[in-house]
Structure 1
Amino acid sequence: MCGRFGLIASPEEVEEAFDITAVDPFPPRYNIAPSQPILMIVSASELTGGGEGRNALLVRWGLIPAWVKDPKDFSLLFNARSETAAEKPAFRGSMRHFRTLVPASGFFEWRRTGEKGGAEPFWIRPRQGGLIAFAGLMSPWLGADGTEIDTGTILTTSSSGVISHIHERSPVVILPEDYERWLDCRGHEPRDVADLLKAPPADFFEAFPVAKAVSNARNLGADLIEPIGPALERAPDENGPGQMDLF
């Protein structure tokens, strides 16, 4: 799953990575949590019915389907299983019409410990550094009182590599060469992009243990992504027993 992530790149870096312009200034964000605004990249044509290029939007993290009457009575859908999103009533409209990219520098995941209710957090980032793009879905929601909210979710898939030894699910990552196909909802139906909904290569991410302060969404500092121990490493033989440890 993906319940916390960070975006610590500059607006200029986001503009360059996603070939967009006029991203509003924003500070580094080290602990983005559900219900908060997140940046999403969309195809301009999907928003206006025409036009070219891409746009950046601030979207509430927690998708509200258009048919929901009162969000207070509806679960916070901050993740969606990619394997079933095209069929689920809450997500199938967005899979067809509002696919997005979610810029990120990395994300947090918790590994259960032997202690009751215990879990240790890890900061997971691309080994090569830089920005990544999670596969996202957007759903514009209109309330009975005229309130309009753009809402969204992040798609997940089965984990690979180091992440599989922390949690069984992880965000779907869309690679730069696939941005256009994923965003083009007019030219590509969900079945045409199903092949993109998979885990990245096993060596794509690295994971470092971090302080438990990240578990509190009110903590926002850069110290949240500082390692408190060595990286979690894969076993040398990926096809072997697959044991991993901190060493």
Structure 2
Amino acid sequence: MNSNERSPDFTFSIAAKLRAAGCVFAEDEARLLAAAARTPDELAAMADRRASGLPLEHVVGWAAFCGLRIAVDPGVFVPRRRSEFLVRQAAAVARPGDVVVDLCCGSGALGAALAAAVGRVELHAADIDPASVRCARRNVASAGGRVYEGDLYAPLPAALRGRVDLLLANAPYVPTGAIGLLPAEARLHEAAAALDGGADGLDVHRRVAADAAQWLAPGGRLLIEVGERQALQAVGIFERSGLLARAVRCDELDATVVIGTMPGADRATRRHRDRE
């Protein structure tokens, strides 16, 4: 255990600083900072960065997600707890050996969490942001995942076309006009490209859905997170792209996921035929 955790007075003073800066869970955050810091001076510096508004995850270098510690570098999108619902939905239908692609992967949290839940998968991920790509490579390394830098499908190996069983895309879905309403932690310290979804928040979703049929295997699924009020429109986008679509909701996590299925033989049937 870090020696800072055995200094209640010092940790209390850190908590007081964080509380004064508006951190709602100041005591919990102070304990996390104390566990991460190697010296009292480093702890004080970390507390100063947090008090200035830097996201806690960027200060300590990781985020808790689906029971994992996901490395999160400065500027990289911090995985939200609500996105655990998307992972649950994917895990409910995933099978060992599935080909999984995580688009707009950010830190790679979705792919890493799904691989941990399912076991052996063929994991690929892509993001347009170089910092996110570097971060994701660390997070998916234990699952043997590969991460590519580029815009959506563009950097993916052509050999994946028509083979993807699960396509995950936590694409940005905040409408441009609402960006200014986001908490300062996100607005000031995460890349705009990871937040801004265009006029109605669904610009990237349209692009993902439009080309999904080229990459999904028969019976493969596309899962995307959206806002609750965007669900009906997103379902329509999926359907116009040739997918069978539905929306699912988790009130506990305030999370909405739209799932599109590629028509055709289900994966179990397809694999049985492939073995014959």
Name the TM tier (shorter chain): under 0.3
Q: Which has the larger Rg? A: 2
Which is richer in helix?
A: 2
